Structure 1
Amino acid sequence: MNPACSRCNKIVYPTEKVNCLDKVWHKACFSCEVCKMTLNMKNYKGFEKRPYCNAHYPKSTFTSVADTPENLRLKQQSKMQSQVLYKEEFEKNKGKGFSVVADTPELQRIKKTQDQISNIKYHEDFEKSRMGGEAPSPSPQPHSTPAFNQQPAAPQNFNYDPTPEPPRQAAAAPPPSAGKRYRAVYDYVAADEDEVSFQDGDMILDVQQIDEGWMYGRVERTGQQGMLPANYVETI
């Protein structure tokens, strides 16, 4: 018994029969499902057991999703969830090792704040160390002309005290010590009322040692007496 055509459901005789796609067709009925162009075994393409020409063969394509308000809301929600998960992972892994962290606006703000705090802390520590430090007493210089005509600095006190210092009273003259004579090796100009000025080569008499940096004596040339820096004179 002859089978029926898959297109027209009429009987197909052997002289006009086409076996394709597990079906039987008339030669004239074996055509494209879209444009009805007659096909043969060389130019057809099957899709779901239906013949198509090359131009109308169904192709799988990606469909674009419209940016509807609902899709935009879901997109924003997914982005927020990703940021929350990122921050949670960052807090968990903080201190466990070095990792590359994206420069988000929030992290940039935190980094800038930390840099400002570090700078303020550095300046506070620097001011404390500068004001709280104490300069060492200069050692006596030999009787020679200093390089570049520089004179040694007189001893100074760098201890900082916010309370205003009352005017320093003139130091009482200690008892003279006979036999102690010094000669000035540099010029010195008194910086306070209880100090004495002298020039290079002046004789300093009745010298009394006060501490490692200061002495008390009388300038033979002027007759003035008072405190003088110990590293500006030498023993005769």
Structure 2
Amino acid sequence: MDSCKEKSKLFLTFQALLSKLQIQENETCKLCQQRVYPMECLVADKQNFHKSCFRCHHCGSQLSLGNYASLHGKIYCKPHFKQLFKSKGNYDEGFGHKQHKELWNSKDKDQLSSISFIQLVYI
């Protein structure tokens, strides 16, 4: 009887060790969507990457955890991150996005046109 209990304890311990070693489904590379094994995994911005996939979005140079910057979910080398920022002077246009002030202006115009329409109705 004791040997049966010991075997079941040993089996449960072995199962617990195996579950710790197994890679979970969500441990895939953000860029290539392939499984990332612990020896080749980099974690940056709470995302998993293969070391070989961790490259600048602009120039493709391989990066490390000490020489990258990220914006809008894209990874850049620090020189290109600075260059893209300087090209337009802001984080939106330099990286191919609309400026926030343009979005605000369009919202303001929509609000003004609806206000003007309401004023016309009541006049």
Scaled by the length of structure 2, what TM-score is found?
A: 0.46
Q: Which has the larger radius of gyration?
A: 1
Scaled by the length of structure 1, what TM-score is found?
A: 0.25
- As a proportion of its length, which structure holds more helix? 2
